[in-house]
Structure 1
Amino acid sequence: MTSMGKTRRMMSAGLVGAALALTLAAPARAGETPTAATPDARPAPAADTGPAPAADRSPAPAADRSPAAGRRHAPALGWRLTPTGTDARFRGLAAVDRRTAWAAGSKGTVLRTTDGGRSWRNVSPPGAEGLEFRDVEAFDARRAVVLAIGEGEASRVLHTSDGGATWTESFRNTDPRAFYDCMTFFDHRNGLAMSDPVDGKYRILSTRDGGRSWRVLPDAGMPDALPGEAGFAASGQCLVSAGPRDVWLATGGAAAARVLHSADRGLTWTVAASPIPAGDPARGVFGLAFRDRAHGLAVGGDYRKDQPSPRAAAVTSDAGRTWRAPAAPPPAYRSGVAWLPYGRTSALAVGPTGTDLTTDGGRTWRTVDAGSYDTVDCTPDGSCWASGEQGRVARLAQG
């Protein structure tokens, strides 16, 4: 999920009107077009593995399923599926602008579009079929960095500067205790990646050259992790940034679902509890989004489809020092969240059972789509994208 510290711009009145139209519309299934949506009647994805003690502490791919046929009335604004030609699950998504986006997922798959999703080019690194890409950070149509997750050497970082024609591995984890989950970039050069706790503290990697080289930061300023605490590699949003120095880290699997904040690019951290459900390896904060250094959203819950998530979101207005529960939260587990580019109070949250919209800064949420997505990203020029299981990548479009 690309951030690079940019505050979302205010967009035209027409786009604001479209957002309001989506607010008032009845929930609709995700489909091929926003005006004649194809229902997605698939059951929720198979249960995901949570943090420790499972070997793969990130949500696992779901079984193959095909959407059911049918039609129903759709809102003026909705997800438009794009043809990717693959059944990979895309938990990594980097939307650059209206025309350019990158998706990274299972089976070492990386896709890129430069025509707004009308076509996708498979730019997967050669020999990466055994890797699980869970995050991608892209700066433009040529430069991108992808993170593969897993214990030991399964955690790797690769980068490209020629649109995926060639890839270079810039980091391979050699510590069997480490498990890397997410990345974020402050700008085109400076970025961080995070691992689940090693020796009781989260491990942070740092790059100053756009992902071409990495070093482990000292952990003296990192608070102790709780027993059983870890991150979720569910959407590429367990580590996010806003502005040139601020970064937040989402946690779960322990007695409390916490959010850590650093104002100095990962050298020192503070920690705060959130009201999102905790107390189980399957529960916690799965995704974060900050529109500036003060205002942020957290989503998560319990990813098990047979378990309720009554408090699946939280909101902060003080840089994450305190978090409060929404008056009307999303009705179920959500793994990804993004601020809409055409307003300072509107955002989308996505998960395997649907998409929710807030227009009041996270105080209340309403379900507007029932399709399955794992992550969502929006660009300053007014484009929003979502991705998930079975090769699903979609754009938010006005009908």
Structure 2
Amino acid sequence: MPGMRTLRVAALAAGLLLSLSQLVPAHAVGSSSGGSHKPSYEWDLKPTGSTSQFRGLAAISADVAWVAGSEGQVLLTTDGGKKWQNVSPPGAGDLLFRDIEAFDAKRAVVLAIGNGEASRIYRTADGGKTWAETFRNTDPVAFYDCLDFNDAKFGLALSDPVDGKFRIAATSDGGKSWKVQPTTGMPAALPGEFAFAASGTCLVAGPGRTAWFATGGGDRPRVFKTTDGGRSWKVTDSPMASGEAAGIFSLAFHGPLFGVAVGGDFLKPTEAVNAASVTSDGGRSWKLVPADKAPKGYRSGSAFVPWTPATVIAVGPSGSDFSLDGGRSWTQFYDGSFDSVECAGHGPHAACWASGAKGAVGRLALAH
């Protein structure tokens, strides 16, 4: 419903975030019960000079990252966050960018959210020197939340339900053009069900033409899965909490089988009731993480660390957590605010980045 969407955008944009003054480095704690020492992480903050809220984040390497946020702002760093270039699309100052996907320091696709024509997609192939608007939603009921790519060509964008079904737009040319897909293969939405435009990870792409998206708002959250590029979907109920402002806010997958879902209630950022779950069968079933092992608050973003067997990072307004066992247990290592997290790169060029309110950006470091 438009009123609910307005509430979500207003609350997520302004109402629930901790101040930037709380963003101070913090270290992970001690040892596990078995006596083995857990790694210690910290966020190395990278000042951007911006006051925008960066919910859109694309990590390429330890040197290259893109962020996108409020006031139509897009920033790019190619030197590990020492300097940031303002590469915002011209004339986009009134837009809310909530997701950005990038393939390198030159090519990126950014999504603006909102009802009707406020939902738009832009693409650059020259590091943000020029942008082309490649999609503008013309349906006044549609509201696009997030997008992701399986590879450099094929990607999907997700809209909240239109006529009782979630809507998908697809590209097969790297975001140069988009086509709204038929909904004949999409299960019906529940009353009040929608997706959260909180960190660009309500929809995530996997191997081949696999993708998943997660929901909330109804009487239960659900996870939808496609294996044919969005033509058909299967849906699974989740054991996590749901409600008008609650559900699954972020998905992360490590290969085709192992996944994590995090969320909670964004009106209660320091509470976590049934706020995390895991799957080991590609999303066909989900197991709730017990409260004593779950993150201690609402979490809006999550990412597997791809060069590790089972390490996951989750972030939210009240802190950041890591898991060493694929999301089955979590340890908080930071009590400041971030909205989004993404990991990328290989070898010495690998890194995890986070972004959030008041221009906040951090790069994860292993403390020795």
| TM-score when normalising by structure 1 | 0.84
* One of 127, 134, 147 as aligned partner of 1:163: 127
Native 8 Å contact 2:28 2:333 kept in 1: no
Native 8 Å contact 2:27 2:333 kept in 1: no
Q: Which aligned pairs between 1:259-270 and structure 2 lie closer than 5 A?
A: 259-270=223-234
CA distance in 2, matches of 1:215, 1:393: 33
CA distance in 2, matches of 1:286, 1:397: 25
* One of 61, 75, 94 as aligned partner of 2:13: 61
Displacement of 1:74 = 7.2
Native 8 Å contact 2:269 2:317 kept in 1: no
1:181-209 Cα deviation digits (max 9, x unpaired)? 00010100110001000000000000011
Native 8 Å contact 1:52 1:253 kept in 2: no
Displacement of 1:343 = 1.3
Displacement of 1:366 = 1.2
For 2:13, the aligned partner's letter is P
CA distance in 2, matches of 1:217, 1:142: 28
> Which 10-residue stretch deviates more, 302-311 or 131-140?
302-311
Say which SS state the counterpart of residue 55 (structure 1) adopts. helix
CA distance in 2, matches of 1:349, 1:148: 23
CA distance in 1, matches of 2:173, 2:249: 28
Whether 1:290 aligns to 2:241 is no
Displacement of 1:62 = 2.5
Displacement of 1:70 = 8.1
Displacement of 1:397 = 1.5
* One of 156, 165, 169 as aligned partner of 1:192: 156
Native 8 Å contact 1:205 1:217 kept in 2: yes
Cα 1:71–1:192 change in 2 (3 A) is closer
Cα 1:251–1:66 change in 2 (3 A) is closer
CA distance in 2, matches of 1:56, 1:167: 30
Displacement of 1:305 = 2.8
What is aligned with 1:121?
85
Say which SS state the counterpart of residue 53 (structure 1) adopts. helix
CA distance in 1, matches of 2:274, 2:2: 19
Root-mean-square deviation (CA), in Å? 1.9
What is aligned with 1:44?
none
Native 8 Å contact 2:221 2:239 kept in 1: yes
Displacement of 1:342 = 3.2
Q: Which aligned pairs between 1:303-382 and structure 2 lie closer than 5 A?
A: 303-305=266-268, 308-327=271-290, 328-381=293-346, 382=350
Cα 1:72–1:243 change in 2 (3 A) is closer
CA distance in 2, matches of 1:397, 1:285: 27
CA distance in 1, matches of 2:288, 2:332: 17
* One of 281, 291, 301 as aligned partner of 2:264: 301
Native 8 Å contact 2:41 2:366 kept in 1: yes
Native 8 Å contact 2:171 2:177 kept in 1: yes
For 1:53, the aligned partner's letter is M
1:43-76 Cα deviation digits (max 9, x unpaired)? xxxxxxx996242544532369441598877775
For 2:251, the aligned partner's letter is L
Displacement of 1:250 = 0.7
CA distance in 2, matches of 1:297, 1:367: 16
What is aligned with 2:34?
none
Native 8 Å contact 1:341 1:383 kept in 2: no
| TM-score when normalising by structure 2 | 0.91
Native 8 Å contact 1:51 1:253 kept in 2: no
| Number of aligned residues | 349
Displacement of 1:124 = 0.4
What is aligned with 2:36?
none
What is aligned with 1:35?
none
Say which SS state the counterpart of residue 289 (structure 1) adopts. strand
Displacement of 1:304 = 0.9
CA distance in 1, matches of 2:150, 2:102: 12
Native 8 Å contact 1:289 1:338 kept in 2: yes
Say which SS state the counterpart of residue 266 (structure 1) adopts. coil
Whether 1:389 aligns to 2:340 is no
CA distance in 1, matches of 2:338, 2:100: 16
Cα 1:251–1:74 change in 2 (3 A) is closer
Whether 1:176 aligns to 2:128 is no
Native 8 Å contact 1:186 1:245 kept in 2: yes
User: How high is the sequence identity, in percent, across the aligned residues?
Assistant: 53
Cα 1:100–1:53 change in 2 (3 A) is same
1:337-360 Cα deviation digits (max 9, x unpaired)? 001133121101100000111111
What is aligned with 1:273?
237
Runs of 4+ more than 3 Å apart: 56-59, 63-66, 68-76
Cα 1:257–1:70 change in 2 (3 A) is closer
CA distance in 2, matches of 1:386, 1:203: 28
Cα 1:248–1:72 change in 2 (3 A) is closer
What is aligned with 1:240?
204
Q: Which aligned pairs between 1:75-86 and structure 2 lie closer than 5 A?
A: 76-86=40-50
CA distance in 2, matches of 1:143, 1:70: 32
Displacement of 1:77 = 2.7
CA distance in 1, matches of 2:23, 2:313: 26
CA distance in 2, matches of 1:195, 1:107: 21
Q: Which runs of 5+ in 1 are unaligned?
A: 1-49
Cα 1:181–1:72 change in 2 (3 A) is closer
